[in-house]
Amino acid sequence: MNRRSLITALGTAFAGASVAAQPQYDVEILGNIIGAKALNNLGDVVGKARDDAGEPVIVIRKANGKVVELPNLFEVDGNVIESALHIPSDLNDRGQVVGFVDVFTFPELSGRYGALWESDGTVRDLGHLNIDFIVFNEPTAINNDGRVLGMTVEVGPRQGYTADAPDYDLAQFDGHHPESRTQPLAINDRGQIVGETKVPSDLLCHNQAFVRDPDGTLRLLALLDVDDFGIPFGSRAYGINEAGLAVGSADIGAPFHTFWPVRWPSDRSIQPLLEGSQQAVGWSGIALALNDAGEIVGTFNAPDFVDRGFVWRDDGLGVVDLNEVTDTPLFINFAIDINRRGQILASTTGGVSVLLTPIGCDADLDDDGDADAEDFFAYLDLFASGDERADLDGDGDLDAKDFFAYLDVFARGCA
């Protein structure tokens, strides 16, 4: 029997097709992580925590539960500085983290420095844009090619920048207008960038979401409305997937001037995520992230003024309150990120960080929605190669306990 026939036979014996249903999630509290910031496609999370001495540190919490602490020693102009305030912004699938470090202990070097933590634990100063009198750099995103986006100060308002491996020299990000402030906020692996740029109009400037293609073309994304004087209302894009679908928020206009979560398909039209009765007075929200399947997460506010994390799918249901599809005493306020497996990084009342995993899909390693022989052989490959993703019990060793743990989740399937 050849490999393909064996795969088919095993798939028939061990795995059935998963059944589509209203999404339900297991909720995992992420230990002592506070202020979780990003989730990658491997299931790793980056955020802040406290070490054994109670000091704040940046950590990566691996998908297998292992926690890796990133160094807080930072070198500036030959001076090694230990910073008490360093904040992560984003994490890619290669384990690279970007964030910023505030330096106060050296008065002559005081400022906010952009930082890149490599997967081996080394940290790099990302510098700033040729400024003698102020240091300010806040990285916002990094893609899987290692391209970094951020904000720095040149002269006057903050300016966006890009920085590419291996040298990471900062290049100013040009917006819609030569003198306008532009904030690049997210980038996909194709190099498309989204964010917010200030656009001059006849009467006033307004902020508007944009997408910039790899060839440098910057296009403004559609708005929801304009007022009686023809002044457009604002918008901002927070995320973009590999298909070029962007998400963010847009002002719905007079008389309430509240923001709705929206998406912009690749044709740059605009679609509110609130559906039907959700478009009533008092509803608002922001879409913060999406995956390549088009699943979108963020936060919305109903007329009771309570923030709720949501997930959205293109099924006509509008935003779905994550508190209604989870079984936890914690109240989910914000959904921060979502990966290709459909896992959702969220925060709850009190600042507790949690990871939501769709129930029944732990065995689905190829993310096709079911557990079959392809997944079984994928796990064998991970196990044989010593990949840490095969360490299911998180003890640092690959052994029979991990293999039987996978057999257990495989047997449960994805139904």
pLDDT for 296-310, tens place per residue? 999 999 888 899 999
Q: Is the pLDDT of residue 10 over 70?
A: no
CB neighbours of residue 304 within 10 Å? 7
Average pLDDT over residues 280-304: 90
Cα distances from 20 to residues 342, 360, 415, in angstroms, run 14, 11, 8
Which residues contact residue 361 at a Cβ distance below 8 angstroms, ignoring those fewer than 6 apart?
18, 341, 342, 369, 371, 414
Q: How many CB atoms lie within 10 A of CB 131?
A: 15
List all residues 6 or more positions away from 96 whose beta carbon is below 8 Å from its beta carbon: 116, 117, 118, 119, 142, 146
In 241-306, the DSSP E strands lie at: 246-251, 259-264, 271-272, 284-290, 296-301
Sort 94 into a burial class: Cβ within 10 Å, 0-12 / 13-18 / 19+: middle
Q: Which residue has the tokens 């910031």?
A: 37
Q: Which residues contact 6 (CB under 8 A, 6 or more apart)?
A: 373
pLDDT level of residue 22 (50, 70, 90 thresholds): very low
* Beta strand spans in 170-258 (E): 170-172, 182-187, 193-199, 206-212, 218-220, 235-240, 246-251
How far is CA 193 from each of CA 18, 126, 273, 375, 384, rounded to the nearest angstrom? 35, 19, 21, 33, 38
The token duo for 29 is 């509290």
Give the Å distances, CA to CA, from 40 to 44, 75, 160, 339, 356. Answer: 6, 27, 23, 6, 13
Query: Lowest-pLDDT range, 89-93, 171-175, 188-192, 371-375?
Result: 171-175
Residue 306's beta-bridge partner residues? none
Q: 217: burial class by Cβ within 10 Å (0-12, 13-18, 19+)?
A: exposed
CB atoms within 10 A of CB 368: 12
Q: What is the pLDDT of residues 107-153, one digit of tens each?
A: 667 778 889 999 888 888 887 765 555 678 899 999 999 999 998 86
Question: At 11, is the secondary structure helix, strand, or coil?
Answer: helix
**Domain locations along the chain:** 70-173
Measured between its terminal Cα atoms, the distance across the chain in Å is 29
Give pLDDT tens digits for 355-388. Answer: 999 886 678 887 676 788 888 999 999 989 988 8
Closest CA to 29 of 351, 289, 334: 351
The pair of three-digit structure tokens given for residue 237, joined into one six-digit string: 């894009």
Band of residue 76 on the pLDDT scale cut at 50, 70, 90: low
